[in-house]
Structure 1
Amino acid sequence: MDNPTKISVVLPVRDGEHRIVDRIEYLLDALAAMTADRAEIVVVDDGSQDATVEVVEELRTKHPTVRIVRHSRPRGMEAAGQSGLERALGELVFIQETDSPIRIEDLQRLLRMSEDHSIVAARAESRPQPLSPALLRRLSAWGAAVEQQYNESEKARSPEPCCLQMVRRPHLYQLSSPKGGRVDLDNDTIRATSIS
């Protein structure tokens, strides 16, 4: 009998044919290095108008732990996350809130937190911080183009923070059952500062 899926990672995407393969392969490598538990990646295509679905389907032939869910029209990243949560098979479900790369550091933090079985849900939010001027000067001393490359990458970077949620499915099912009653959950947010 196959081992049950322990971890599901939900990646919402829209019009991502040129970036989704790199994101998935990077995440597969990171998960393999992080845990021996069986993991899956659930890509939720939010009504893409490009070849995102075809690209992911082709990748699935190489990586059977990748699955795809499709919205026929754009419904938004929150709806994509919910669709992924509903279809994920893992006990622990990690949901990327935006169409951006997952920060592996956030995934590692949440995975460590999941060792405490009293935690039902948690969220990691990372806000990239600019490099200090002193560090930029030191780096520039090693190569004149460093500061220019850094400034160009900062202009291309989205100001939106990277946010990742963790949900423990069995507890949520119990809490949402008719006998579960009302339970107030504490909100725990991890804040990390670094550049990606």
Structure 2
Amino acid sequence: MARPNRMSVVLPVRDGRDRIEKRIDQVLGLLDEMIGDPEAAEVIVVDDGSQDDTAEYLGELAEQNPRLRLVRHSRVRGMEAAGQTGLERATGDLVFIQEDDADIREDDMKKLYQMSQDPTVLAARAQTQPPSFPAELIRRLVAWGVVAQRALPQLGRSEAKTGLQMIRRPHLQRLVGPQGDRYRLQSETIRGTSETT
């Protein structure tokens, strides 16, 4: 299995000073575990027009860690634009883009990394949805009345729907280049369920 020369992970954030350091540490630890070479990985945090002191805080973190890079949108442009900005600034051959301002699910990143070992896979996406609760359980909770009124908000706080993309940057550059229309791509959707613990 050939490993990429360099990996980049793009994390969008908006007004996230209180949560971004934990996310960065999680991703750096995961990269170290997956590829074993700290010099071969970078994390690009795209601050999407934060109104708090997120950008300043990220600047301090970047001074302490050379694997961390900061890009800032001067105004809110959205998470999709933040992901695109990160992709444009990435130096890695293999780029992971978190699609929203949420924690990366480690299982999703590991599965996408495993898929990247197949040289025919140019891009892939993992989407995780929170588990749904069986209608029978909800019906019973509602029948309990007051207890259910307290329990249902807790059930609603389950993990949010998140998405993570994996892109081989050199291939993407070829596809958008002058000869790009000569390539034929096949698309395949693999569906699975994901359980949270």
Would the TM-score normalized by the shorter structure come out above 0.5? yes
User: Which of 103, 106, 120 is residue 104 of structure 1 equivalent to?
Assistant: 106
**Which whole-Å CA distance do the structure 2 matches of 1:65 and 1:195 have between them?**
30
Residue 93 of structure 1 aligns with which residue? 95
SS at match of 2:31: helix
Residue 84 of structure 1 aligns with which residue? 86
Structure 1 residues 151 and 66, CA gap change in structure 2 (3 angstroms): farther
SS at match of 1:48: coil
**Which whole-Å CA distance do the structure 1 matches of 2:30 and 2:91 have between them?**
19
Residue 16 of structure 1 aligns with which residue? 16
Q: C-alpha deviations, 1:45-84, integer Å up to 9, x for none?
A: 0000001111111111222100010000000001000000
User: Which of 67, 92, 95 is residue 69 of structure 2 equivalent to?
Assistant: 67
Residue 162 of structure 2 aligns with which residue? 162
Q: C-alpha deviations, 1:83-102, integer Å up to 9, x for none?
A: 00000000000000011100
SS at match of 1:181: helix
1:155: how far off? 3.1
Aligned length: 181
Deviation >2 Å, runs of 4+ = 149-159, 182-192
Structure 1 residues 79 and 48, CA gap change in structure 2 (3 angstroms): same
**Which whole-Å CA distance do the structure 2 matches of 1:20 and 1:189 have between them?**
31
SS at match of 1:98: coil
Which stretch shows the higher mean deviation, 51-60 or 10-19? 51-60
Q: Which runs of 5+ in 1 are unaligned?
A: 133-148
**Which whole-Å CA distance do the structure 1 matches of 2:48 and 2:108 have between them?**
23
Structure 1 residues 107 and 57, CA gap change in structure 2 (3 angstroms): same
Structure 1 residues 97 and 63, CA gap change in structure 2 (3 angstroms): same
Structure 1 residues 5 and 70, CA gap change in structure 2 (3 angstroms): farther
Contact between 1:124 and 1:189, CA under 8 Å: does it hold in 2?
no
**Which whole-Å CA distance do the structure 2 matches of 1:41 and 1:150 have between them?**
38
Identity %, equivalent residues: 49
1:24: how far off? 0.4
Please report the TM-score for the alignment, with normalisation by the length of structure 2: 0.81
Residue 180 of structure 1 aligns with which residue? 180
Structure 1 residues 9 and 182, CA gap change in structure 2 (3 angstroms): same
1:184: how far off? 4.4
Q: Which runs of 5+ in 2 are unaligned?
A: 135-149
| Corresponding letter in the other structure for 1:187 | S
**Which whole-Å CA distance do the structure 2 matches of 1:166 and 1:28 have between them?**
16
Contact between 2:124 and 2:167, CA under 8 Å: does it hold in 1?
yes
Residue 123 of structure 1 aligns with which residue? 125
Please report the TM-score for the alignment, with normalisation by the length of structure 1: 0.82
**Which whole-Å CA distance do the structure 1 matches of 2:130 and 2:159 have between them?**
10
**Which whole-Å CA distance do the structure 2 matches of 1:9 and 1:30 have between them?**
11
Structure 1 residues 96 and 188, CA gap change in structure 2 (3 angstroms): farther
**Which whole-Å CA distance do the structure 2 matches of 1:21 and 1:151 have between them?**
31
